[in-house]
């Protein structure tokens, strides 16, 4: 599971690098792709945490909040930290909200310079936010994995 999280974070970084060099619609598409990779990495990290305890993963759960509600994992410190981050409106909550906006059926429309109306599905998922989410997620992973190896 560890390798899958790292792979998805690497993919997000690659896509963000491409988005940095792109404009308009192409940039929006790349930012959305980066967001999907970030959330996929986050979900896989949840699996990584849960697999340590040999608990079956609830497929529909995307967030630590959902994991705690469905599986009752309050005592797992890594999951508890993610739960608190999501509840405090920190980076993970913002990332998951932006992802929710991407998969939502109702999206705001904005005019495009070439006369085509584009749905802005990324909303808060701009280049800086996505890069910040990636950086903060990587820092959290290193810290939590280092702590887990100590035990």
DSSP letters spanning 16-61: HHHHHT--HHHHHHHHHHHHHHHHHHHHHHHHHHHHTTT----TT-
Answer whether 0.85 is exceeded by the pTM. Answer: no
Token pair for residue 114? 């070439």
Q: What is the pLDDT along the chain (151 residues), one digit of tens a residue?
A: 689 999 999 999 999 999 999 988 899 899 999 999 999 999 999 888 876 554 454 555 566 666 666 666 555 788 788 888 888 889 999 999 999 888 876 655 555 555 555 555 445 678 999 999 999 999 999 999 888 765 5
């Amino acid at each position: 599971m560890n390798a899958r999280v790292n792979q998805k974070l690497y993919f997000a970084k690659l896509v963000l690098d491409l988005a940095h060099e792109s404009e308009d619609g192409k940039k929006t598409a790349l930012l959305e792709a980066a967001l999907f990779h970030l959330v996929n990495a986050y979900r896989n990290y949840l699996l990584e945490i849960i697999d340590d305890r040999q608990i079956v993963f609830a497929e529909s759960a995307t967030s630590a909040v959902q994991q705690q509600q469905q599986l009752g994992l309050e005592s797992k410190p890594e999951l508890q930290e993610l739960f608190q981050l999501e509840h405090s409106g920190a980076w993970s909550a913002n990332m998951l909200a932006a992802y929710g906006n991407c998969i939502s059926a109702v999206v705001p429309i904005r005019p495009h310079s070439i006369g085509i109306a584009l749905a802005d599905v990324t909303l808060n998922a701009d280049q800086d936010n996505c890069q910040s989410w990636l950086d903060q997620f990587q820092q959290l992973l290193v810290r939590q994995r280092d702590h887990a190896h100590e035990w």
